[in-house]
Structure formats: C-alpha cells, structure tokens
Amino acid sequence: MLETSLTNCGYRNDALLLDLEYKDTQIQREQLDKALITVKYTRILARSLVIPDLHLEEQEKTLWNPWQDEDIQTYHRHLADYYYYTFPYEEWKKLLTEIYNVSVKPAQIKWKKELSDCDNMAESMHYAMQLAARRTDFEHNVAIGIAWSGTHAYNIFVDNDGVKWVYEPQNNKIKGRLGETKDPFDTKLLLFIG
C-alpha cells in the first residue's frame, strides 16, 4: 500500500529518504501517506514563497538531538536528522511571526479540504523556516517539525531550554507546551524532516 501511494504521487525516492520504520498500524500508514502528499504540494507552493533573510546566523543557537530526547521518544515519530538548531523562545516567536507575515500568510489560499487545509499550512511553515535556514551556512536544519493529532496538523518547535512548543501556523499562535495541549492539539505523530 505504501509503495503504491508513493509511486502514484511521484515521490518514490522520498520513501528512501524517510527511511520508514513504522509499526504496521493503519493510522500511521494513513498519516504517512498524507505527509508524503503534503511534501508534493509543499514543493509546488515553495516556488511561490518569499523567504525573508532572518539573519539566523546572528541568533543564539544550541544543538538539539531528538534521538536522545526522552520527551520525543514517547511519540510516534520520524526523525530525519541527528541534530537540529534551537533558538531561545522569544527569538522563535519573532522568527515565526516574520515567516508567517512574509511567507506563509501571503501565500495562503482560501481554505479547501484536502488541498489547502491544516496539513498544508503546517508543511508550508515548516518548509519556509527550513528554506530560511538554508540561506545561512548552517550545518543543520532548525528544530521545527510537523505534528498530527489524528484530526489536525500543526507545527512543533524546540527552544534552547529543550521545551517543545505547539504552534498553529494558520493564525501564528503558540498554543502551549507539547504534551500539555488538548484536542485538537493532542499530538500523536511528530515529523522532523529537512
């Protein structure tokens, strides 16, 4: 089933990049299928995004390893890299707001189920932040990921203190700490992919 969905959407190589090792449960396969389709649409959207220079190289940053983070290990997850850069909480707020105002909000199209909904917004924010990081000479991606609750998609970011925050990319709001937020932000799956 997974091989078929990857081939049909034209991203068979993404399966190799994702190095999938999920247990065989239906919800995980469905969430993964949605994530791969989101990657396809995000690449199309990225061609139209304006990415500001956030001067990330000037920010205070810390290396974070999700593979050794006990909080992350309690979730179904896909971790593509070993290290990510984190920033202080207040700096994250500024960075996310700038990306939201310059990149994500202007590119936002009218909400449409399956095409322009929560997972597309979460992927757009994630991708815009990663593109901003690529403008620097960083050796690692920044610590922002995509999360699913089963009914909603949104972003997660990690600050310099190792605190994981739930972020709603549809309205630029930080909803609270990962694990303390309620439905629809009751996280089941985390994707930290670059």
pLDDT (0 to 100) of residue 14 = 42
Q: For the segment 149-167, what is each residue's pLDDT rounded down to a tens digit? A: 989 999 999 999 999 999 9
Q: With 60 as the cut, is the pLDDT of residue 53 above it?
A: yes
Domain of residue 60 covers: 51-192
Reduced 3-state DSSP string for the chain: CHHHHHHHCCCHHHHHHHCCCCCCCHHHHHHHHHHHHHHHHHHHHHCCCCCCCCCHHHCCCEEECHHHCHHHHCCEEEECCCCEEEECHHHHHHHHHHHHHHHHHHHCCCCECCCECHHHHHHHHHHHHHHHHHCCCCCCEECEEEEECCCCEEEEEEECCCCEEEEECCCCEEEEECCCCCCCCCCCEEEECC
Cα atoms found within 13 Å of the Cα of residue 150, Cβ hemisphere only: 9
Q: What CATH number did the domain enclosing 153 receive?
A: 3.30.460.70
Is residue 6, in this structure, part of any structural domain at all? no
- pTM of the predicted model over 0.95: no
Is residue 108, in this structure, part of any structural domain at all? yes
Is residue 18, in this structure, part of any structural domain at all? no
Cα–Cα nearest to 64, from 188, 152, 161: 161
* 76: CB partners within 8 A, 6+ apart: 22, 28, 188, 189, 190
Is residue 35, in this structure, part of any structural domain at all? no
Report the domain count for the chain. Answer: 1
- Measured from the Cβ of residue 69, the count of other Cβ atoms closer than 10 Å reads 15
In the numeric block, which tokens belong to residue 168? 């709603």
Is residue 63, in this structure, part of any structural domain at all? yes
**Can you tell me the mean pLDDT for 130-141?**
86
Q: For the segment 67-126, what is each residue's pLDDT rounded down to a tens digit? A: 999 999 999 999 999 999 999 999 999 999 999 888 777 766 665 565 557 888 898 899
Is residue 15, in this structure, part of any structural domain at all? no
pLDDT (0 to 100) of residue 46 = 56
pLDDT (0 to 100) of residue 123 = 87
**Between the CA of residue 10 and those of 3, 35, 37, 99, what are the distances in Å?**
11, 14, 9, 29
Is residue 184, in this structure, part of any structural domain at all? yes
Top-confidence residue, 3 or 25: 25
Is residue 16, in this structure, part of any structural domain at all? no
